[in-house]
Structure 1
């Protein structure tokens, strides 16, 4: 009978805890009957296991009396305390979770974001500095390159003339500029047709 009394108290504690958690999690009412059924199945199996261990599974009147007394004593003495403790535990878990997330943001996320921004700023600075130095080098080296070009003019000018004599006839034969203009006109025509169809479809809708 004492075992059943304790089982009744345990059933009451679990039921109140389940009820408070379901209310805090705002479980849809559609699932409430399902969870209730699962609770009662689990409670029945647990009580049967306890009864089997303590009384070899024999069912007597005092078994039901012990369960009823245990449930009644629990709801009379401990129900409000259990509800408060479960709510306090839930609030503690929430506070710890918020604190953990906040620490993660402050100690990991924000430093990484700052490092990323700093890296972008340094990269932009080095790129700008590199371009500036490159322009300075080009400007300073321009007279030198002009001098080299003037000195090597007898070498590269005939090469350019020879290259032009070879390439210009090929360009004229293949009609590259004309074909390029034709391809460009065809692409513009296809784009205009697609755009007109799209506009017509919008107007029909």
Structure 2
């Protein structure tokens, strides 16, 4: 490995150390800060470190064909230490401002969606429902009125015919109906006795 490649490797590993510091802080703020079950936390931590390790190895592979030496680890630690000493507060402020901006943007978009789309749609649907119910009530009223107009002459006709019928025939008919009622009552009593 030439001196230039070694110098490039050192500088890139210092930068990767700073990247690791920022990634750890971002991960802690977004994922670790939440209350997860223990096994989910273990899976999240494992995936985080596997991804970071693969990223460092990929960068190392691009620079010096994946040769791992002790000074590379020292460069990583040096980069992480520099980040902690010099850039930690700045990055924390930028991260928090970014998160708050994303949250405010999300809340604004949600409020705008409700105000411009969902609430007008609800109002329109309520209006349509009210109009449909009014139309339906009107149609039902008209139909009942028309039915009343249609069957009222038949009622009058039936009453007129009833008045024209002789009283003796009506009495005989009602007696026959009484006879049928007695038979029905007798059969019902017989069935109830059989059932018990």
Partner of 2:172 in structure 1?
none
In 1: Cα distance, 2:157 partner to 2:81 partner: 107
Counterpart of 1:82 (choices 88, 91, 101) is 91
Contact 2:32 2:41 in 1 (8 A): no
Farther-moved stretch of structure 1 (66-75 vs 106-115): 106-115
Q: Give 1:54 deviation, angstroms.
A: 1.0
In 1: Cα distance, 2:140 partner to 2:68 partner: 92
| Alignment TM-score, normalising by the size of structure 1 | 0.63
Could you give the per-residue CA deviations for residues 146-189 of structure 1, whole angstroms, max 9, x where no partner exists? 566689x7xxx9xxxxxxxxxxxx999999x839x96xxx9xxx
CA 1:66 to 1:144, structure 2 compared with 1: closer, same or farther past 3 Å?
same
Partner of 1:14 in structure 2?
23
Superposition RMSD on alpha carbons, in Å? 3.8
Which secondary structure does the structure 2 equivalent of 1:4 belong to? helix
Partner of 2:113 in structure 1?
104
In 1: Cα distance, 2:97 partner to 2:31 partner: 15
Q: Would you identify which runs of 4 or more consecutive aligned residues in structure 1 move more than 6 Å? A: 170-175
Looking at CA atoms only, which structure, 1 or 2, has the larger radius of gyration? 2
Could you give the per-residue CA deviations for residues 26-63 of structure 1, whole angstroms, max 9, x where no partner exists? 13372444433333322222222222221122233431
Partner of 2:12 in structure 1?
3
| Alignment TM-score, normalising by the size of structure 2 | 0.66
Partner of 1:28 in structure 2?
36
